[in-house]
Amino acid sequence: MEPFDTITGIAAPMLDANIGTDVIMPKQFLTGIDRKGLDRGVFYDQRFLPDGQKNPGFVLNEARYSNAKFLLTGPNFGCGSSREHAVWGLRQLGIRALIGTSFAGIFFDNCMRNGVLAATLEARELDQLSQVVVQNPGLPMTIDLPAQQISIEGHMNLSFEIDDLRKKTLMSGLDPIGATLQYKQDIIDFEDRHLQENPWLADQAEVSQRS
Amino acid sequence: MESKTLYDKLIDSHTVKTLDDDGHVLLYIDRHIVNEYTSPQAFSGLREQDRNVWRPSTTLAVVDHVNSTEPNRVDFSTQESGANQMRYLADNCEKFGIELFDLLDQRQGIEHVVAPEQGLVLPGMVIAAGDSHTTTYGALGAFGFGIGTSEIEHLLATQTLVYKRLKTMRVTIDGRLGFGVTSKDLIMTVIRKIGSSGATGFVMEFAGSTISDLSVEARMTICNMAVEAGARGAYMAPDDKVFEYLESKPRVPKGALWSKAVEKWRELRTDKGAEFDKEVELNASHIEPMVSWGISPDQADGISGIVPNAENNVTHPEKVAIEKAQKYMGLEAGTKFEDIPITHAFIGSCTNSRIEDLRQVAAVLKGRQVANDVRAIIVPGSSLVRQQADEEGLADIFKAAGFEWRQSGCSLCLAMNEDVLKPGERCASSTNRNFEGRQGAGARTHLMSPAMVAAAAITGRLTDVRKLVQGT
Ligand code: SF4
């Protein structure tokens, strides 16, 4: 996972409410067994016309947003299906951060797992930010994760909240499974006690293969 | 002693280690269900890192999302990519020692129907699965939540997840449901009331006399759909109905172990005086059968209602959302719901495809005929539900009415197999999501209870099932 530190790029507004993972990554792109080629699927039904041509009316097809690294998102972005393909696709399309007022829970976690920052602002702040973005084509935005700052030079500077654990995970880009396995002995001890207290949870012929 | 919510008790009793002061814990998971479409990359991750599965016996794999629901299905899906996922799942289960209910297994079905049906979901368990509707298991007094593929890999390798404690919301529902009103109408009313992100960042506890009066299967519909309000988990304290429901299931503990377990499960409830971050109250006696008219599950209203007018009393974002929904759904403000014609009727999904749902459908369909220009489909929640419906004679009623009686799977709930609607087709559906394109690009979904779908299939338009049934 690519670490997230300070990133500068173009932001694109997608402020509709309730944009779900069904829309971010339509089902026809979910049939693979690897993560490849999902950039094509992102917002497919909006991005492309039925004949496969780019839909000129879709925001990410506008020249000014074509290299966007950030999306400004509406409430409840990423709601619905748990499909992580939505985040893989956004990441493959070059998106590194989403800035919105609220994100659906599973999607929010999936973002963190893939080096995509999902930052939450107050509605009023997001409003101001999107006005600046819309009124200043080509003006880049900078997200400084260590300082928890979003800025557009000469226009605004906002701070955002993120809990330490998520911040560290994003900044380090480290393998979370490896990190958890540091606590292997704690898990073993817990498990032994838990199965003793709740013997119906233990499988009789069980072979634990603890990694 | 400090009063605690059942949620806190479940999280506390599964905490391996507290990770920080922000509410993060390493959470032990008792049960894990995997399907063919969100798991492949997780297994590939394990293979690449040469990692084992920590405790394979806690995981069940089920094929449900991509498979065909052809009445006479014999083998893997005819779709090459779907077959690929099913083959890879079988491969992974073999390599890592995980139990698999494959396509032709008589226990195959939608994961959230199959796991309770087998008795693999027990009160007090913490359960995670790569599917958002894992919340369903809360109806049995377990705590279930959905995870993404990276988390599946983490869970397989460590039996744990890094979990952040959520805020709590209690929804207390009292009053008797009227004739023809179901738990689906109840949860759709809750979602309409609090909004599709009203429970984002929360878990929901459902309580009150209306919930106690419901059957266990009806309760599952509520916990299942709570995720459509944004809840990352929904649960109810287990009671005698739950223990009775479970006792006959194949995989539950037996004998002395069963009695010991039930004794402990009786303690699974929120303490008196425990505080919730939010309380919501609802009187169930006024609720009508609900239908959704828009492209988000909270865009719904009682069947006697009309498509709302964007100009009336709403904020700017709501106005935009209503206009967008009307455009996609091809509906004008002021249209009566009962005047909306349909092309399809679908009964299925983990929300509403259990045997009780099918009995309700049969009661509506008996002696009636599906309207001429409607294609009507029933996909049972599991192969065992299908078998039972055959044995009870329900299937004969469905077929006589003109419904297709298919094999189990997710089918038209998310349309990943060949069951897909065309642009502009309009479906009365017992499913849980009406997002744009959910049942096919450009397809239009109206969510409602299974009995309401049956009524719509018969008249060819959205219909108040109470009028249809009482009118005879
Ligand atoms: S039936 Fe629908 S909601 Fe349920 S698991 Fe399948 S696709 Fe998901």
CA distance B441 to A139: 35
The chain B residue lying nearest A31, using CA atoms, is B81
**B328 Cβ partners below 8 Å, 6+ apart?**
B295, B436, B444
pLDDT of residue A1: 77
Q: What is the mean pLDDT of residues A152-172?
A: 93
A211 or A33, higher pLDDT: A33
Nearest residue to B65 via CA among B92, B87, B45, B85: B85
pLDDT of residue A205: 45
Question: Does ligand 1 have an atom closer than 6 angstroms to the CB of B114?
Answer: no
**Which residue among B350, B385, B412, B417 is best mutated to probe the pocket of ligand 1, counting the most ligand atoms within 8 A of its Cβ?**
B350
Percent of chain B with pLDDT over 90: 91
Q: What is the mean pLDDT of residues B165-173?
A: 98
Alpha helices in B311-464 (DSSP H): 316-329, 355-365, 383-391, 394-401, 450-459
- Say if residue B148's pLDDT is above 90: yes
- Say if residue B207's pLDDT is above 70: yes
B78 or B106, higher pLDDT: B106
- Say if residue A207's pLDDT is above 50: no
Is B41 close to A30, i.e. CB distance below 8 A?
no
A109 close contact with B: CB closer than 8 A: yes
Position B389 confidence tier, pLDDT thresholds 50, 70, 90? very high
Tokens of B140: 């049995």
- Say if residue B80's pLDDT is above 70: no
- Say if residue B19's pLDDT is above 90: yes
- Say if residue B460's pLDDT is above 90: yes
- Say if residue B335's pLDDT is above 50: yes
pLDDT of residue A2: 84
Residue B3: other Cβ atoms inside 10 A: 11
CA distance B36 to B266: 35
Nearest residue to B131 via CA among B34, B43, B204: B34
Position B419 confidence tier, pLDDT thresholds 50, 70, 90? confident
CA distance A24 to A21: 5
Q: What is the mean pLDDT of residues B300-323?
A: 89
pLDDT of residue B2: 86
CA distance B86 to A45: 26
**Chain A neighbours among B 168-187 (CB < 8 Å)?**
none
A32 close contact with B: CB closer than 8 A: yes
pLDDT of residue B311: 87
Amino acid identity at A52: G
- Say if residue B142's pLDDT is above 60: yes
Summarised one tens digit per residue, pLDDT across range B109-140 is 999 999 999 999 999 999 999 999 999 999 99
Chain B residue numbers touching A200 (CB-CB < 8 A): 122, 252-253, 257-258, 260-261
**Which residues share a beta bridge with B61?**
B34, B100
B328 close contact with A: CB closer than 8 A: no
Q: Strands B344-347 and A156-159: what pairing? A: unpaired
Looking at chain A, the number of H-run helices and the number of E-run strands are 8, 8
Say which of B54, B82, B433 has its CB closest to residue A208.
B54
Position A175 confidence tier, pLDDT thresholds 50, 70, 90? confident
Position B472 confidence tier, pLDDT thresholds 50, 70, 90? low
pLDDT of residue B76: 63
CB A129, CB A121: distance < 8 Å? yes
CB A194, CB B159: distance < 8 Å? no
CA angle B137, B16, B238 (to 5 degrees): 25
Residue A104 DSSP SS3: coil
Q: What is the ipTM of this complex?
A: 0.94
Mean residue pLDDT of chain B comes to 95
Q: What is the mean pLDDT of residues B92-111?
A: 96
Chain B nearest-CA distance from A162, in A, is 10
